[in-house]
Amino acid sequence: MAFAETLRLVISPPHPAGRRFIVIGVAVLLLGLLWHWLAWLGLIFIAFCFYFFRDPERFPPGRANAMVAPADGRVVSVAPSVPPPELGLGPMPRWRVGIFLSVLDVHVNRMPIDGTVTRIAYRHGRFVNASLDKASDQNERNALAIRLADGRDLAVVQIAGLIARRIVCDAREGDVVRTGARFGIIRFGSRTDIYLPEGIRPLVAEGQTMIGGETVIAELAP
């Protein structure tokens, strides 16, 4: 069973953001008809693109009060922090969970819970190592504020990393979203932070491995 799950993950169809890279790989492969070494380069590049942009199906827990991880990866930070000021969520610190995505992780971002996207704000920045806490403040990022049915707010932030140079966000302000729904991707190594609603504590710890759209990060109070 474990082997079947691993195989399903590796051979998942690619995210649409990877299609043009796959086309480039195919073009290089065709040039290999003239220069054979290019054929090998094209095959390696195509295989890497299919692996990096893989987009497996995920199955949220199905509980209305469960908040799930917005990304695959390793938890590198669990600490109180003020949400990005551009979202207008106020100056009070709240629990932030930082997830580092290595180049080997699935990079598709997913919504942590049902709600409505109230604000999306992009900010230019640096490209320091995304596993470091200063990346949350200094790096290029795209932040989303999501309002829950009870009026509380949370934030999800896509953060570019040392290698990543492109943040893709398919969500729009006003979108009504569902737990586990895809909303974007960050190319080639990155970080995703989630700022929990005020008064909610995380159920995860540093060093844990997250499965985006499935791992429960926190539970809303009844």
pLDDT in tens, 11-65: 666 656 656 665 666 666 666 666 666 777 777 777 777 777 788 899 999 888 9
How far apart are the C-alpha atoms of 131 and 100, rounded to whole Å?
A: 5
Rounded (10°) angle between helices 36-52 and 19-31: 170
Each residue's pLDDT tens digit, 77-87: 999 999 999 99
Looking at residue 114, its pLDDT comes to: 96
DSSP code at position 178: -
Q: Tell me whether residue 190 is one of the annotated catalytic residues.
A: yes
Q: What is the pLDDT of residue 132?
A: 82
Catalytic residue among 77, 131, 136, 190: 190
Residues of the chain below pLDDT 50? 1
Question: Whole-prediction pTM value?
Answer: 0.82
Distance of CA 36 to the CA centre of its chain: 37
| Topology of domain 66-219, CATH | Glucose Permease (Domain IIA) (2.70.70)
What are the structural domain ranges in the chain? 2-52, 66-219
Q: What is the reported pLDDT for 1?
A: 43
Cβ(104)–Cβ(188) below 8 Å: no
Angle of CA points 188, 191, 193, to nearest 5°: 155
Other CB atoms within 10 Å distance of the CB of residue 90:
12
Single out the residue of 184, 110, 121, 176 nearest to residue 147, CA to CA: 176
3-class DSSP state for residue 35?
A: coil
In the chain, DSSP assigns E strands to: 66-68, 73-81, 94-101, 108-110, 115-123, 141-147, 153-160, 167-169, 176-177, 182-186, 190-195, 209-210, 216-219
